[in-house]
């Protein structure tokens, strides 16, 4: 293959990939503060537990919805101060990605885009509930996706082993 042919092939594959954000929205949100107003009287020493889940699905050709679900449970003095659940969603146009690349886009790249919106929704909700602002630390979705992929591969390898 000549140098011209190889560079042309690289340009074609790069040009074929398209990504666009079509919409970002809150799909579901809830807030519970079971101990109020008594919980406002206690010294504020919160313990935060964050649970994350991502889900991606096709809506139409080259169009996908990704939902980032956050559940934040905060305890204070061994009692639940509040619980916030947010499903931050987005609709994304993705074209020209191979299966492995598309899986990474849905499981890592898109959640990285959605997380700041979800973090803001959590912070606003907590503040409106009468509690001090809650700022969630950034999440490394690339690392979480790599761990998920490695665990899935390990399970597949174990199930492929012959039984003696």
Determine, yes or no, domain membership for 140: no
DSSP 47-78: EEEEEEEEEEEEEETTEEEEEEEEEEEEEETT
pLDDT at 16: 87
pLDDT at 98: 93
Number of domains in the chain: 1
Whole-angstrom distance, CA of residue 49 vs CA of residue 84: 11
Determine, yes or no, domain membership for 77: yes
Determine, yes or no, domain membership for 156: no
Determine, yes or no, domain membership for 151: no
Give me the sign of the Cα torsion angle 144, 90, 49, 132: positive
pTM of the full structure = 0.83
Determine, yes or no, domain membership for 159: no
Question: Which regions in the chain score pLDDT beneath 50?
Answer: 1-2, 6-12
Determine, yes or no, domain membership for 11: no
Determine, yes or no, domain membership for 144: no
Determine, yes or no, domain membership for 9: no
pLDDT at 152: 85
Do the Cβ atoms of 46 and 75 come closer than 8 Å? yes
Domain limits at 40?
A: 18-130
pLDDT at 15: 59
Which CATH number does the domain housing residue 61 bear? Answer: 3.10.420.10
pLDDT at 162: 65
């Amino acid at each position: 293959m000549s140098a011209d042919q190889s560079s042309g092939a690289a340009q074609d594959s790069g040009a074929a990939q398209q990504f666009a954000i079509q919409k970002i929205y809150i799909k579901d949100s809830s807030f519970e503060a079971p101990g109020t107003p008594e919980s406002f009287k206690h010294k504020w020493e919160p313990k935060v537990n964050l649970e994350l889940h991502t889900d991606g699905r096709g809506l139409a050709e080259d169009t996908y919805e990704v939902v980032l679900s956050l559940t934040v449970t905060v305890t204070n003095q061994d009692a639940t101060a509040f619980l916030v659940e947010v499903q931050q969603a987005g609709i994304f146009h993705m074209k020209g990605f191979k299966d492995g690349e598309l899986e990474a886009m849905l499981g890592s790249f898109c959640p990285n885009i959605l997380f700041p919106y979800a973090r803001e929704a959590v912070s606003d909700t907590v503040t409106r509930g009468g509690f001090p602002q809650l700022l969630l630390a950034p999440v490394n979705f690339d690392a979480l996706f790599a761990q998920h992929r490695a665990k899935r591969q390990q399970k597949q390898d174990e199930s492929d082993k012959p039984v003696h």
